[in-house]
């Protein structure tokens, strides 16, 4: 199965041509809608001051970023991580615009748009009725816990987007089970609905006819007011199980 990379960035602003830069990159590798366990996470020195509006979004201060590497120092590592994999990005025009601007600034090849899947466009197509399609709205729709998202963070948002991407494609693994010990302590399990398929061959009953008869005699000894009588337990192994008490079929 093809490898995909879920990507998110944090920046100093909205427009790279106005001098704004990437300050954080978070990436999660997946294969066949399953996390491989490989992630990429780097904070970057933007070589400029942080505007107040951006600071309020991600909380990354000038002091915190001043000793972090420049984009050019991690560019090759970044490109090696993504390789030829398809990139999965929410509102791809924004992040890809910044990434390509940074790559051009260090004389590296740009990432072509056809290597990118925009989950914003996918969500608008799959969920036209929910109104808003930002990451918070999609997490609310799919009941994905985002309580740890007090500020935007590239790796955290890439993890949340990974879960949203799985759900948009009809699956889901549960973010809680796939994070490390530190992340797991602040996360909650997400609910996954699994559609059961009919079993091709019925299972043989585990109870013998003698055990079933013995159970029936025990229930009768409890009297007519016994709770068991209200669920219509079968009287013998040959008796059909009432439709109301049949368990769903499973693989």
Q: Whose CA is closest to 193, among 179, 165, 168, 172? A: 172
SS3 label, residue 31: strand
Which residues, at least 6 apart from 7, have a Cβ–Cβ distance to it below 8 Å? 25, 26, 27, 82, 87, 88, 89, 95, 99, 158
Q: Given this model, what pLDDT does residue 174 score?
A: 46
Q: What is the pLDDT of residue 148?
A: 80
Q: What is the pLDDT of residue 217?
A: 78
Clarify whether residues 10 and 114 are in a common domain. Answer: yes
Residue-level pLDDT at 12: 98
Q: Does residue 137 lie within any of the structural domains?
A: yes
Please report the sign of the dihedral spanned by the C-alpha atoms of residue 206, residue 207, residue 209, residue 210.
positive
Alpha carbon 15 to chain centroid, angstroms? 28
CA distances from 201 to 103, 134, 240 (A): 57, 45, 18
State the Cα–Cα distance between residues 53 and 58, nearest whole angstrom: 9
pLDDT of residue 181: 42
Instruction: Evaluate whether residue 191 is within a structural domain.
Output: no
Beta bridge partners of 180: none
Asked whether residue 156 falls in the same domain as residue 216, the answer is no
Write down which residue in 160, 184, 208 finishes a domain.
184
Identify the CATH number of the domain in which residue 72 sits. Answer: 3.30.420.10
Query: Do 54 and 158 belong to one domain?
Result: yes
79-135 pLDDT per residue, tens: 999 999 999 999 999 999 999 999 999 999 999 999 999 999 999 999 999 999 999
Point out the catalytic residue in the list 101, 141, 152, 215. 152
Tokens of 192: 């996954």
Residues 205 and 126 placed together within one structural domain of the fold: no
Can you give the pLDDT at residue 211? 75
Q: Are 212 and 120 members of one domain?
A: no
Digit-by-digit pLDDT tens for the chain (251 residues) are 799 999 999 999 999 999 999 999 999 999 999 999 999 999 999 999 999 999 999 999 999 999 999 999 999 999 999 999 999 999 999 999 999 999 999 999 999 999 999 999 999 999 999 999 999 999 999 999 988 887 899 999 999 999 999 999 987 544 444 444 444 333 333 344 444 556 566 666 666 777 778 777 777 777 776 666 665 544 444 444 444 444 444 44
Question: Is 219 within a domain?
Answer: yes
pLDDT tens track for 85-100: 999 999 999 999 999 9
CA distance 76 to 105: 13
Q: Are 2 and 24 in contact (CB under 8 A)?
A: no
Rounded Cα distance between 32 and 219, Å, is 50
- Element (H or E) spanning 16, and its range? none
What's the chain's Rg over C-alpha atoms? 27
Same domain, 160 and 232: no
Tokens of 31: 């294969």
Beta bridge partners of 26: 8, 41
Do residues 149 and 65 both lie within one domain?
yes
What is the C-alpha to C-alpha distance for residues 38 and 46, in angstroms, rounded to an integer?
Answer: 25
Q: Which domain holds residue 30?
A: 3-184
| Paired tokens of 70 | 């420049």
Locate 243 and state its tokens.
Answer: 């439709």
How many structural domains comprise the chain?
A: 2
Is residue 152 among the annotated active site residues?
yes
């Amino acid at each position: 199965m093809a490898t995909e990379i879920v990507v998110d960035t944090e920046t100093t602003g909205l427009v790279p041509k106005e001098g704004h830069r990437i300050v954080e990159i978070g990436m999660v590798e997946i294969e066949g809608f399953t996390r491989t366990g490989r992630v990429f996470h780097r904070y970057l020195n933007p070589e400029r001051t942080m505007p107040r509006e951006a600071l309020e979004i991600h909380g990354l201060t000038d002091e915190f970023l001043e000793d972090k590497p420049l984009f050019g120092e991690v560019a090759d590592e970044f490109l090696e991580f993504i390789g030829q994999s398809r990139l999965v990005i929410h509102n791809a025009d924004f992040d890809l615009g910044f990434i390509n601007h940074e790559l051009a600034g260090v004389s590296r090849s740009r990432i072509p748009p056809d290597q990118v899947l925009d989950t914003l466009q996918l969500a608008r197509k799959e969920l036209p009725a929910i109104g808003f399609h930002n990451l918070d709205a999609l997490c609310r729709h799919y009941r994905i816990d985002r309580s740890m998202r007090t500020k935007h963070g590239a790796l955290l948002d890439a993890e949340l987007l990974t879960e949203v991407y799985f759900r948009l494609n009809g699956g889901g693994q549960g973010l809680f089970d796939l994070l490390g010990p530190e992340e797991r302590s602040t996360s909650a399990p997400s609910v996954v609905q699994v559609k059961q398929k009919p079993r091709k061959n019925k299972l043989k009953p585990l109870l013998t006819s003698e055990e079933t008869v013995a159970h029936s005699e025990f229930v009768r000894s409890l009297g007519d007011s016994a709770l068991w009588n209200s669920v219509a337990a079968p009287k013998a192994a040959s008796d059909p199980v009432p439709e109301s008490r049949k368990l769903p079929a499973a693989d």
